[in-house]
Amino acid sequence: MQIVSCPSCGAEVRFKSHAAVMAVCEFCRATLLKDAESVKNLGTMSSVLEDYSPIQIGTCGMLGGRNFTVVGRIQLRYTQGMWNEWYVLYGDGGNGWLGDSSGQFTMSAERKVQETLPAFEKLRIAQPVHINGERFLPAEIRSAKCIAGQGELPFRVGEGWRIRVADLRNGEAFVTLDYTDGEVPVVYSGVAVTLDEMRCQLLRDDDQVKAGAGRFRGKVDALDCPSCGSAIKYLPGITTTLICPACKAQLDASGPQASVLAAGAKMATMNTTIELGATANIRGSEHTVIGAMVRATSGTGAEKWTEYLLFSARGGFFWLIESNAGWFQAKVMHRWPLWDPAAGDTARAENQDYEKSDSYLTTVVAAAGAFNWRVSVGDRVFVTEYENTSGTLAAETTREEMTWSRSTRLAFDQIKTWFNVGPKTVKGIPESEPAPKMAGTLQKFFWWLLGLNFIPLIFNFGETALTLIVAMVFICGMAVSGEDKQ
């Protein structure tokens, strides 16, 4: 470990990694470049946006039998959102990167490759690339810039530093091709992981996440829309994009002041079953509905459905989907299914085969609230679905990104329990009401019963027969009255 004094403020700055060449002073934000004899002040680095991530400088864990500690971070932003790259130092002296994007995590380190890899401009989503004899599919192709840094870093970066990267996947295997320094990419390979699998310790807890996520903006959880002045409730630090529920303006919420990205587009009215801001205890963690959007298909047999984005400081993001077919819960998969785009008829996940069931183009027709990527009315995504008896896999593809999610059916009783919402109308019939024409069924039953008992009374007509007839007429009258009220 090397300890130096910050040339700007005099505070102690520690270099834990011998590979680190740069550090950001945690007190004055000065960017310090380390050489053989001293450190140089390169200027001030912007403060990181304290977001929803539970990871922080000092978080430690174990992966593949190797202990690691997080010692630095860079924050990167691209057109549709932002993500963190955490610089980690292993106990054996090695180093690597812990990718952190919308609750999805990857661990990777630089590797040498045998093949000549395609140029950045030649890469296409889901078109195979072979690396060291293994086939990978491009999942994300991004041009991004650094917006902030923190702690120790192995190379010199600064605000506005631009990168070109592509993330590739094959099951749990993960590769990043970094074209920042030229047409021959630096290759980082590793695996998709979860916090539990890394046995992470010294994570921020729920309260720290909520408090820290507001620190950059003064701990606010509501702001006035700069376009129309309406109050918007949101979780600061959770996302970079907001859509005003009142005027539908698209807002950038990544800085101290929210700014208008685009005026509100004309969109369909959103009548949602669950309100924005609703909370529920789901699997032991409090989740909040932070965004909702309506998506639709076009052409013959067009369908429309609502998707609710839920967030929990510990549980991350997941979706609730409300459609004519019922309710479903869906979550992005951090391990990709085994899937061949050339064949495309089957996908295999968790030792189960899923058969292709549908494919369609979907468009966002309405949206409101906060999202972990930039959402706009008119956004289009091509969806391919694969089903078996346990659930559905869905591959969503755009020109820049491909994601896989897994969904399972939910009973509406579960939704009512979570969010205390009222009766749900399915195919025009509220679940809380009896099936229609029940009164007509009762009438038929009583007339049949009357006829059955009336036969012997024809030959023995008296007071008993008269009483029975009057009672039957009264009951049938009540049934008819009830049917008319429906």
Name the least confident of 106-115, 181-190, 467-476: 467-476
Residue 157 domain flag: yes
230 SS3 class:
coil
Domain range spanning residue 131?
Answer: 2-193
pLDDT band at 437 (very low <50, low <70, confident <90, very high): very low
Tell me, what's the pLDDT at 115?
Answer: 86
Range 51-63 burial, b when 16+ CB lie within 10 A, else e: bbbbbbbebbbeb
pLDDT cut 90: percent of the chain above it? 43
Mean pLDDT of 286-311: 89
User: What is the domain count for the chain?
Assistant: 3
C-alpha R_g of the chain: 30
Pair (295, 380) in one structural domain: yes
Are 17 and 95 a contacting pair, CB within 8 Å? Answer: yes
Is the predicted pLDDT of residue 375 greater than 70, yes or no?
yes
Tell me, what's the pLDDT at 342?
Answer: 85
Tell me, what's the pLDDT at 377?
Answer: 83
Is the predicted pLDDT of residue 321 greater than 50, yes or no?
yes
Residues 242 and 457: their CA atoms lie apart, in Å, by: 77
The 10s digit of each residue's pLDDT in 188-219 is 999 999 999 999 999 987 667 666 554 433 33
Is the predicted pLDDT of residue 37 greater than 90, yes or no?
no
Pair (339, 271) in one structural domain: yes
Tell me, what's the pLDDT at 309?
Answer: 92
Tell me, what's the pLDDT at 4?
Answer: 62
Mean pLDDT of 142-155: 86
Is the predicted pLDDT of residue 352 greater than 80, yes or no?
yes
Final residue in a domain of this structure, among 397, 428, 459: 428
Tell me, what's the pLDDT at 124?
Answer: 95
pTM: 0.74
Residues 161 and 31: their CA atoms lie apart, in Å, by: 14
User: Rounded mean pLDDT of the chain?
Assistant: 78
Residues 6 or more apart whose CB falls under 8 angstroms from that of 310 comprise 282, 287, 288, 289, 290, 317, 318, 319, 320
pLDDT band at 103 (very low <50, low <70, confident <90, very high): confident
Residues 91 and 356: their CA atoms lie apart, in Å, by: 45
pLDDT band at 164 (very low <50, low <70, confident <90, very high): very high
Residue 207 domain flag: no
Is the predicted pLDDT of residue 467 greater than 90, yes or no?
no
pLDDT cut 70: percent of the chain above it? 65
Residues 416 and 423: their CA atoms lie apart, in Å, by: 8
Is the predicted pLDDT of residue 333 greater than 70, yes or no?
yes
Tell me, what's the pLDDT at 225?
Answer: 72
Residue 234 domain flag: no
- Helices in 165-311 by DSSP H: which ranges? 206-215
Pair (318, 462) in one structural domain: no
Mean pLDDT of 305-320: 87
- The phi and psi torsions of 188 (rounded to 5 degrees) equal -120, 125
- Of the two residues 28 and 331, the one the predictor is more confident about is 331
pLDDT band at 373 (very low <50, low <70, confident <90, very high): confident
Residue 383 domain flag: yes
Residue 128 domain flag: yes
Pair (405, 468) in one structural domain: no
Tell me, what's the pLDDT at 107?
Answer: 97
Tell me, what's the pLDDT at 227?
Answer: 65
Residues 474 and 466: their CA atoms lie apart, in Å, by: 13
Residue 224 domain flag: no
Are 291 and 374 a contacting pair, CB within 8 Å? Answer: no
Structure tokens at 237: 């630090």
Tell me, what's the pLDDT at 42?
Answer: 43
Question: Hey, what's the torsion of the CAs at 92, 94, 100, 103, to 10 degrees?
Answer: -30
Residues 58 and 113: their CA atoms lie apart, in Å, by: 32
Residue 221 domain flag: no
Pair (465, 400) in one structural domain: no
Is the predicted pLDDT of residue 238 greater than 70, yes or no?
no
Pair (270, 377) in one structural domain: yes
Name the least confident of 56-70, 147-161, 191-205, 289-303: 147-161
Tell me, what's the pLDDT at 480?
Answer: 47
Mean pLDDT of 53-64: 93
Tell me, what's the pLDDT at 465?
Answer: 54
Residues 80 and 307: their CA atoms lie apart, in Å, by: 19
Are 135 and 128 a contacting pair, CB within 8 Å? Answer: yes
- Of the two residues 439 and 207, the one the predictor is more confident about is 207
Pair (278, 402) in one structural domain: yes
Is the predicted pLDDT of residue 239 greater than 80, yes or no?
no
Residues 126 and 65: their CA atoms lie apart, in Å, by: 32
Residue 372 domain flag: yes
Final residue in a domain of this structure, among 139, 158, 193: 193
Question: Hey, what's the torsion of the CAs at 147, 152, 155, 157, to 10 degrees?
Answer: 20
Mean pLDDT of 465-481: 53
Pair (279, 331) in one structural domain: yes
Identify the top-confidence range among 107-111, 229-233, 264-268, 451-455.
107-111
Instruction: Give, in order, the Cα–Cα distances in Å from 457 to each of 205, 447, 448, 454, 466.
Output: 80, 15, 15, 5, 10
Structure tokens at 43: 């200027």
- Output DSSP code: residue 458: T
Final residue in a domain of this structure, among 193, 222, 254: 193
Mean pLDDT of 341-362: 93
Is the predicted pLDDT of residue 450 greater than 60, yes or no?
no
Pair (415, 450) in one structural domain: no
Tell me, what's the pLDDT at 457?
Answer: 47
Pair (422, 449) in one structural domain: no
Pair (424, 442) in one structural domain: no
The 10s digit of each residue's pLDDT in 383-417 is 999 999 999 999 999 999 999 999 999 999 999 99
Are 340 and 333 a contacting pair, CB within 8 Å? Answer: no
Identify the top-confidence range among 167-181, 249-263, 282-296, 457-471.
167-181
Structure tokens at 290: 């932070």
Residues 6 or more apart whose CB falls under 8 angstroms from that of 228 comprise 244, 246, 247, 249
Pair (401, 447) in one structural domain: no
- Of the two residues 440 and 353, the one the predictor is more confident about is 353
